[in-house]
Amino acid sequence: MTQANGWIGTILRINLTEGSIKKEPLNMQDAHDYVGARGLGTKYYCNEVDPKVDPLSPENKLIFMTGPLTGTAACSAGRYEVVSKAPLTGIIGAANSGGHFGPELKYAGYDGIIFEGKANHPVYLHINDDQVELLDANELWGQGVHETTEALEAKHGKVRVSCIGTPGERCMLFAAIMNDKNRAAGRGGMGAVMGSKNLKAIAVRGTGGVTVARPEGFMNEVTKARTMLKEHPVTGNGLGTFGTEILVNIVNEVGGLPLRNGRDGSYWEQADDTSGERLNETHLVKNQGCFGCSIACGRVTKIEGKGNLDGFGEGPEYEAGWSYGAACGVNDISSIVKANFICNEQGMDPITLGSTVACAMELYEMGAIPEEDIGFPLRFGDAAAMVKLTQMCADGEGFGKTIGLGSYRLAEKYGHPELSMSVKKQEMPAYDGRAIQGIGLEYATSNRGGCHVRGYMISPEVLGIPVKLDPQVTEGKGAMLKTFQDLTALCDSTGMCLFTTFGIGLPEIAGQYREAVGSDETDEEILLKGERIWNLEKRFNMEAGVEKDTLPPRLLREALPSGPAKGKVNELQTMLADYYEARNWTADGIPTPEKLAELNVTY
Amino acid sequence: MAKQLVVDPKKCVSCRTCELVCSFKHNEEFNPRLSNVSVFHYEDAAITVPIMCMQCDEASCAAICPTGALRRNAQGVIEHDANKCIVCKMCVSACPLGNISYSPAKRMIHKCDLCGGEAWCAKYCPTGAISLVDPDEVPDKKQLAADKLKAAVEEVRA
């Protein structure tokens, strides 16, 4: 039975060691304090798991959590979050995904699922409304994401599937959890945690619904926000027409597109070869939206007449287009699309994978990786070698296994950890922190390691949303980032897509949230929940043993050789001081007891 | 004259907003299974088709209804009167398009009523894949074919 507040009110607790399935009431106090999805999943996780846990051990837990807006008509509110300790980084991992899986889970009658322990043989969870069962997955083990999804659809009818490919089974450190075939809870290795539990998939069918506290007020807020999205050039036209790849030329124009592992700066003459405009001309079949989404940035793409590159699938997103494009110095768009297909079909994070290949290319070119280790030459710009290595990584073969360690462990193995373009062992995405100062600060302080979606400073620094900041100055970046991080934590936790924040802001997010859950809190009180989530994540990371907030030495010391930001490095220390002050933390970046008390974070 | 829903699958991005708002308008619940519009996605073809009641001129559902629960109103919409309905489900069998549904959960028959003229599926469709138009304004396929022919002739001339 649903509650009239956006929530169903029920959590599934699955102990894989015992094979037990329990339904328990949702903790409504925590749901109030931590919103849902990312925040609530993290709160459950922190309540229940030792921060020192080995991420791939049975003692770790894996939490799937929706938000109060998931499955409603709120803007782009089709998302769910996967929370666990991330094997790639050793700190909190929270990865969210769109598609249709999250809403279906709620329609089946569950706000979230907590997986505990480890099954003694491969299993999958089948949910058909009230009926919940763990079934044998021996026949699915060894299959890719698309095959697994199709097999479960053939067996159970109209189910929505979230699953792992073979890299996840092998606990590869950046294996993703994939739903609806091509949507990814991508970063940090949530797929490896799933694989470590012998859990191949979740197949869910739900016939129930979701209700809200104040129906009329809710639809008023939804209508207002959806109209704003439609009228905004980014959400109403740009992202739907060209996808996130529209950013290639825009970011390159500010000289912020990291080239060849960042070795050759961040301005690329050939950028347009890999742009969203080019993707439209060459491989786009159609744009497509996730559940309830008016933005519809998804790319359905096809490669034809290119021999062994041929294929059909989705993407790439801008970050994957960069990791396989500029980062590897590859300007053949078909090879970029293909490498991304392989990541989707097998469930791997293309940001980490492409960046790791780029790192290996630099190490190879400087002679640090001998050719016999790889088995073939691996120079920047070699599209065929890049695609081959991606497939080898998917299959766990040869040097592909080493790529599967991620760039930090790979670079360390070959004696050059400083050449891993990562923060806290997770690769930074497609924006150079030397050309765009605030995004560098964002990477350094992100609670899940190198990541762009924890406080997307590209929005103000490049796109001018909500105000235009000069990308090359440091002033004001700390305070702006703090606000972005808190707002993002809030947005993620409602079940809405972060991309809505190009067109709407706090009043619209808070407005939809308030009417759904039946709250009379002010916008500021609701934003404070985002800050609470951020501080809880930080506290967990400190207990888990997080590395200090910094950037790869390349960004701090190697000045950009060319482009509009020529001569620049990232001025991290200045911005860090401002940021910690804005957060009301100590000068060393530690949340103060007063701040934690104010936010009521008791961890 | 009744307005008519027109579907353009080329514009549909598969987001199912129509299912959400339809179910909410009629049930105050977001539940695609209670929606009177259904979205069918053909993955391999990358085509998505929303489908709903067309308010047939020769409406089988109304013809077969034994209690008069399905009747055409002054706006030309076949309305369902739950008070008269005995939930025999004959209408579900009779509709050749499958556009009248029975909900096992709610034990009720449901069908499109154009939201009293507002047609939320069209109102909230982000791309215009569903629109509510006067029959006179429905794009004339003959006109479209003529437009194409004209363009071809122009090309040959050039």
Question: Looking at residue A536, which CATH number applies to its domain?
Answer: 1.10.599.10
Are A192 and A311 members of one domain?
no
Element (DSSP H or E) covering residue A213:
none
- Chain B positions contacting chain A at CB under 8 Å are 13-17, 20-21, 23-24, 27-34, 43-44, 46-48, 105, 124, 126-127
Evaluate whether residue A211 is within a structural domain: no
Other CB atoms within 10 Å distance of the CB of residue A323: 33
CB pair distance less than 8 Å for B16 and A240? no
Are A416 and A463 members of one domain?
no
A133 phi/psi in degrees, rounded to 5: -145, 145
CB pair distance less than 8 Å for A226 and B124? yes
Chain B residues near residue A294 by CB distance under 8 angstroms? 15, 17, 126-127
* pLDDT confidence of residue A156: 98
Q: Kindly identify which residue of chain A lies nearest to residue B33, measuring between CA atoms.
A: A207
What type of residue sits at position B67? T
User: Is the preceding peptide bond at A215 cis, omega within 30 degrees of 0?
Assistant: no
Evaluate whether residue A144 is within a structural domain: yes
CB pair distance less than 8 Å for A72 and B33? no
Q: Kindly identify which residue of chain A lies nearest to residue B18, measuring between CA atoms.
A: A292
Q: What is the DSSP letter of B108?
A: E
Name the packing angle between helices A506-517 and A477-494 (round to 10°): 30
- Chain A positions contacting chain B at CB under 8 Å are 2, 71-73, 100, 107, 181, 207-212, 215, 219, 223, 226, 230, 240, 285-294, 296, 298, 300, 312
Residues 6+ apart with CB under 8 A from A565: A254, A255, A256, A266, A267, A432, A434, A435, A436, A471, A472
Are A284 and A336 members of one domain?
yes
Other CB atoms within 10 Å distance of the CB of residue B134: 10
Evaluate whether residue A268 is within a structural domain: yes
Closest-CA distance of chain A to residue B60, Å: 28
Q: Kindly identify which residue of chain B lies nearest to residue A98, measuring between CA atoms.
A: B15
Q: CB-based burial of residue A398 (10 Å sphere; 0-12 exposed, 13-18 middle, 19+ buried)?
A: middle
- Write out the two tokens for B124: 């909230």
A335 phi/psi in degrees, rounded to 5: -70, -35
- Write out the two tokens for A468: 């235009």
Q: What is the DSSP string of A124-193?
A: EEEEETTEEEEEE-TTTTT--HHHHHHHHHHHHSS-EEEE--HHHHTT-TTBPEEETTTEEE-SSSHHHH
Residues A81, A65: Cα–Cα separation, whole Å: 5
Evaluate whether residue A4 is within a structural domain: no
Other CB atoms within 10 Å distance of the CB of residue B144: 10
| A-to-B residue pairs, Cβ atoms closer than 8 angstroms | 76
- Asked if A558 and A569 touch (Cβ cutoff 8 Å), the reply is yes
Q: Kindly identify which residue of chain B lies nearest to residue A5, measuring between CA atoms.
A: B29
Residues A480, A458: Cα–Cα separation, whole Å: 11
Q: Kindly identify which residue of chain A lies nearest to residue B10, measuring between CA atoms.
A: A286
* pLDDT confidence of residue B21: 98
Q: What is the DSSP letter of A461?
A: I
Q: Which of A205, A220, A251 is the last residue of a domain?
A: A205
Q: What angle (nearest 5°) sits at the alpha carbon of residue A49, between those of residues A45 and A55?
A: 95
Are A402 and A527 members of one domain?
no
Name the packing angle between helices A506-517 and A215-231 (round to 10°): 160
The residue among A181, A293, A302 with the most chain B CBs within 10 A of its CB, best to mutate, is A293
Closest C-alpha to A563, from A264, A284, A144, A311: A264
Count how many domains chain A has.
3
Evaluate whether residue A226 is within a structural domain: no
Q: Are strands A123-128 and A177-179 parallel, antiparallel or unpaired?
A: unpaired
Are A71 and A150 members of one domain?
yes
CB pair distance less than 8 Å for B13 and A73? no
Evaluate whether residue A344 is within a structural domain: yes
Residue-range domains of chain B with CATH: 4-157 (3.30.70.20)
Closest-CA distance of chain A to residue B57, Å: 32
Residues A450, A421: Cα–Cα separation, whole Å: 9
Across the interface, which of B16, B29, B31 has its CB nearest the CB of A291?
B16
Radius of gyration of chain B from its Cα atoms, rounded to whole angstroms: 18
With b meaning 16 or more CB within 10 Å and e meaning fewer, what string describes A400-439? Answer: bebbbbbbbbbbeebebbebbbbbbbbbbbbbbbbbbbbb
- Write out the two tokens for A510: 């808070």
User: In chain B, which stretches have pLDDT less than 50?
Assistant: none
CB pair distance less than 8 Å for A208 and B31? yes
Residues A58, A16: Cα–Cα separation, whole Å: 9
Across the interface, which of B20, B28, B126 has its CB nearest the CB of A211?
B28
With b meaning 16 or more CB within 10 Å and e meaning fewer, what string describes A68-80? Answer: bbbbbbbbbbbbb
Residues 6+ apart with CB under 8 A from A339: A320, A324, A350, A353, A354, A386, A387, A390
Residues A367, A179: Cα–Cα separation, whole Å: 40
Q: What angle (nearest 5°) sits at the alpha carbon of residue A483, between those of residues A38 and A32?
A: 40
- Compute the half-sphere exposure of residue A22: CA atoms within 13 Å on the CB side of its CA: 11
- Asked if A398 and A412 touch (Cβ cutoff 8 Å), the reply is no
* pLDDT confidence of residue A514: 98
Q: What is the DSSP string of A303-345?
A: E-SSGGG-EEEE---HHHHHHTTGGGT---HHHHHHHHHHHHH
Evaluate whether residue A120 is within a structural domain: yes
Across the interface, which of B15, B27, B30 has its CB nearest the CB of A71?
B30
Closest C-alpha to A302, from B135, B45, B128, B96: B45
Consecutive 10-residue averages of pLDDT for chain A (603 residues) = 88 98 98 98 98 98 98 98 98 98 98 98 98 98 98 97 98 98 98 98 97 98 98 96 96 97 97 97 97 97 97 97 98 98 98 98 98 98 98 98 98 98 98 98 98 97 96 98 98 98 98 98 98 98 96 98 96 98 97 97 93
CB pair distance less than 8 Å for A296 and B126? yes
Q: Which of A182, A205, A228 is the last residue of a domain?
A: A205
A291 phi/psi in degrees, rounded to 5: -55, 125
Are A90 and A157 members of one domain?
yes
Are A416 and A441 members of one domain?
no
- Write out the two tokens for A17: 């060691």
Are A175 and A252 members of one domain?
no
Residues A139, A122: Cα–Cα separation, whole Å: 9
Q: Which of A181, A205, A229 is the last residue of a domain?
A: A205
Are A154 and A103 members of one domain?
yes
The residue among A7, A222, A237, A344 with the most chain B CBs within 10 A of its CB, best to mutate, is A222
Are A248 and A178 members of one domain?
no
Q: Are strands B38-42 and A177-179 parallel, antiparallel or unpaired?
A: unpaired
CATH assignment of the domain containing A38:
3.60.9.10
- The CA–CA distances, whole Å, from A187 to A94, A426, A600 equal 8, 8, 29
Evaluate whether residue A432 is within a structural domain: no
Closest-CA distance of chain B to residue A25, Å: 21
CB pair distance less than 8 Å for B30 and A209? yes
CB pair distance less than 8 Å for A73 and B24? yes
Residues A262, A556: Cα–Cα separation, whole Å: 12
CATH assignment of the domain containing A256:
1.10.569.10
The residue segments making up the domain with residue A367 are 243-427
Chain B residues near residue A312 by CB distance under 8 angstroms? 44
Are A271 and A166 members of one domain?
no
Chain B residues near residue A215 by CB distance under 8 angstroms? 24, 28
* pLDDT confidence of residue B1: 60
Residues A398, A50: Cα–Cα separation, whole Å: 35
Are A313 and A451 members of one domain?
no
